[in-house]
Amino acid sequence: MHCHTLKEVGELVYMDTTAGLDVLNTPLTILSTSTPAGGLPLGMIIASDESANTFTKALEILKCLIPSAGFGERGTALGPQVIMTDDCKAEKTALHNTWKNATLLLCVFHFLQAMWQWLWDGKHGICNNDRVTLIEYIKKIVFAKSEITLNAIYNDLTTSQIYSKYPNIQNHLKASWDHRYEWAIAFCQQLPIRNNNTNNFAEAGIRILKDIVFK
Write the pLDDT tens digit of every residue in 12-45: 999 998 876 666 778 889 999 988 888 888 999 9
Residue 85, C-beta contacts closer than 8 angstroms, at least 6 positions apart? 14, 15, 16, 91, 92, 95, 104, 105, 106, 107, 199
> Sheet containing 12-18: which strands, arranged edge to edge?
38-46, 28-35, 12-18, 82-85, 103-106
Residue 3, C-beta contacts closer than 8 angstroms, at least 6 positions apart? 9, 33, 40, 41, 42
Please tell me which residue, 62 or 205, carries the higher pLDDT value.
62
Write the pLDDT tens digit of every residue in 70-107: 999 999 999 999 999 999 999 999 999 999 999 999 99
Write the pLDDT tens digit of every residue in 169-193: 999 999 999 999 999 999 999 999 9
pLDDT of residue 198: 85
Q: Is residue 173 part of a domain?
A: yes
Domain count, the chain: 2
Q: Are residues 7 and 67 in the same domain?
A: yes
Residue 199, C-beta contacts closer than 8 angstroms, at least 6 positions apart? 14, 16, 84, 85, 86, 107, 109, 110
Expressed as residue numbers, the domain containing 122 is: 109-183
Write the pLDDT tens digit of every residue in 10-19: 999 999 988 7
pLDDT of residue 210: 62
Q: Is residue 58 part of a domain?
A: yes
Q: Are residues 85 and 153 in the same domain?
A: no
